Amino acid sequence: MPELPEVEAVRRRLERAMRGTTIARVLLRRANLRRPFPEGFASRLERQTIRSLRRRGKYLLLDLSSGDVLLIHLGMSGSFRIDEDGSPDAHDHVVFQLSNGSVVTFNDPRRFGLMDVIEAGWGSEHRALRSMGAEPLDASFDAVTLARACANRRTALKVALLDQRVVAGLGNIYASEALHRAGLSPRRRASTIATTGGRPRPAAFRLTSAIKAVLRSAIARQERPYRSGDFRVYDRDGEKCSRPGCGGTVRRIQQAGRSTFFCPKCQR
């Protein structure tokens, strides 16, 4: 499933094509994705100008001139294609025809994506957004915020990081990468990065910095082809740890049904 860096890359690409344009027509090629489209979906979007494109966690938010907000989640296989003729594919489910002649098509073979229209003024109250944690790339996300979110949590630290109420947009790949960069075991209890009073321990400062660094690096990588050496531990089971002087071997374990990659020697 796309994580924050991949969704941010999609946002930036769509912004270049859609910001400031008017949605001339919306074509729905089926009645639902993960859930049915809301009543009047197409009519609420047509003739609306796209004022801005934002991201909240793994969600895309298109602010419309009506005040409504188009909420989009890519699901596991969703993607956008931008072209002039809109040549159809069997998995093209939503087509946006824009006033500048461009056609933006949402393709989703597995249909786990989601689109909804949020009424003006109710964006933060939408069920997908109202419990979401801090944005990790915002200045407000710091060790204090992370420690407070993890305090008293008895679950493993890696599992806590995947909880969108703790950190918005962080997923399986970049949680593993951030923990390795911070030198923290994914199996340690989440509450150990905070004092009993909820104040940050040194581990919280290291982890906050690592999360920001990993995500910024990943966003920058979206502009070039993937290389196998891009990750420190993810999908590198059995390989030598990349930390200088470590000499450990990367292992893969299962946590909450997901694969976790880490170095048991340097991650404590």
Annotated active-site residue 3? The verdict is: yes
Hey, is 260 helix, strand or coil?
strand
Which of 55, 58, 158, 236 is an active site residue? 58
Q: Rounded to whole angstroms, how far apart are CA atoms 49 and 99? A: 9
Residue matched to tokens 């890696």: 158
> Contact 145/166 with Cβ under 8 angstroms?
no
Which of 3, 6, 8, 177 is an active site residue? 3
Q: Rounded to whole angstroms, how far apart are CA atoms 24 and 44? A: 11
SS (H, E, C) 53-85: EEEECCEEEEEECCCCEEEEECCCCCEEEEECC
Annotated active-site residue 58? The verdict is: yes
Strands 23-28 and 69-73: unpaired
DSSP state of 124: G
Which of 19, 47, 243, 258 is an active site residue? 258
Looking at the DSSP bridge assignments, the partners of residue 61 are 54, 71
- From residue 212, give the alpha-carbon distance in Å to each of 46, 158, 174, 234, 266: 37, 16, 10, 17, 20
User: Residue 254 burial by CB count (10 A; 0-12/13-18/19+): exposed, middle or buried?
Assistant: exposed
CA proximity to 18, closest of 81, 68, 74:
81
Q: Which residues are catalytic?
A: 2-3, 58, 258
